[in-house]
């Protein structure tokens, strides 16, 4: 798999840790980002994982950036792209060419977009959580694979609630990607099932 990140990369680190066990069934072949100098890229480099940067700001048009990102991903011929804290919308050049999953810190379809935790708090929900879904060409709108709920506590602020979400998110991400790798998957409209007959190792 190719993992895409924009920041700290704690979810990427969780995947990297899980992938050390050959029985996990998935291997990270590269980590990519849309911006220079992210913490997560430094962590990946230190672990000897190939990395690449496709800076969003270096392109005049979003479509050009999207095409460049798609080509860089393709160099590693991954079976799966994992958007794990990647803060740009991936367009048709990526989504039309690569199978990709995304994690989102809310119970979709509630609170899509870049400020999911803030938006959930502002709305006054008592329960939020995290979602892993396949990417389509919309914003956080693709078929849902799994979700885990996280209660909102009185007095929660954005940072504290997000940290609690990230604890369950990392577990969900590692579990789900491992199952996709080991069991394969079938997408039927909005419904995702694990398992297929021609399961192969994700690389
Ligand atoms: C995660 O909570 C992820 O769900 C979120 O960014 C965080 C990244 O943390 N993604 C989005 O908000 C995407 N819209 P990390 O860099 O420590 O893995």
- In this predicted structure, the answer to whether residue 160 has a pLDDT above a threshold of 70 is yes
Compute the distance between CA of residue 195 and CA of residue 174 in angstroms, rounded to an integer: 17
- In this predicted structure, the answer to whether residue 198 has a pLDDT above a threshold of 60 is no
Q: Take residue 15 and report the two structure tokens written for it.
A: 């995947």
Q: Which atom of ligand 1 is nearest to the CA of 10?
A: 17
| Predicted confidence (pLDDT) per residue in 88-146, tens digit | 999 999 999 999 999 999 999 999 999 999 999 999 999 999 999 999 999 999 999 99
Looking at residue 142, what DSSP letter applies?
Answer: S
CB of 7 closer than 6 A to ligand 1?
yes
**At what angle are helices 10-18 and 158-183 packed, to 10 degrees?**
30
- Residue that the structure tokens 């980590």 belong to: 31
DSSP letters for 97-133:
TS-EEEEESS-TTSS-STTHHHHHHHHT-SEEEEEEE
pTM, two decimals, is 0.95
| Predicted confidence (pLDDT) per residue in 63-74, tens digit | 999 999 999 999
Q: Report CA(198)–ligand 1 centroid distance (Å).
A: 32
- In this predicted structure, the answer to whether residue 76 has a pLDDT above a threshold of 70 is yes
Q: Report CA(183)–ligand 1 centroid distance (Å).
A: 25
């Amino acid at each position: 798999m190719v993992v895409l990140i924009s920041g700290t990369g704690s979810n990427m680190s969780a995947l990297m840790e899980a992938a050390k066990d050959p029985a996990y069934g998935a291997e990270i072949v590269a980590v990519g980002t849309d911006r220079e100098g992210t913490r997560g890229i430094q962590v990946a480099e230190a672990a000897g994982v190939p990395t690449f940067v496709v800076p969003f700001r270096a392109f005049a048009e979003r479509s050009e950036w999207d095409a460049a990102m798609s080509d860089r991903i393709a160099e590693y011929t991954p079976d799966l792209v994992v958007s794990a804290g990647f803060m740009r919308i991936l367009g048709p050049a990526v989504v039309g060419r690569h199978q990709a999953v995304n994690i989102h810190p809310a119970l979709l379809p509630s609170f899509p977009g870049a400020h999911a935790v803030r938006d959930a708090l502002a709305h006054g929900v008592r329960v939020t959580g995290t979602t892993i879904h396949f990417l389509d060409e919309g914003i956080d709108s693709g078929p849902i694979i799994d979700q885990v709920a996280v209660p909102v506590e009185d007095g929660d602020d954005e940072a504290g609630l997000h940290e609690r979400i990230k604890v369950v998110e990392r577990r969900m991400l590692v579990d789900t990607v491992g199952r996709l790798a080991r069991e394969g998957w079938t997408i039927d409209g909005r419904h995702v099932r694990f398992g297929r007959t021609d399961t192969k190792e994700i690389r």
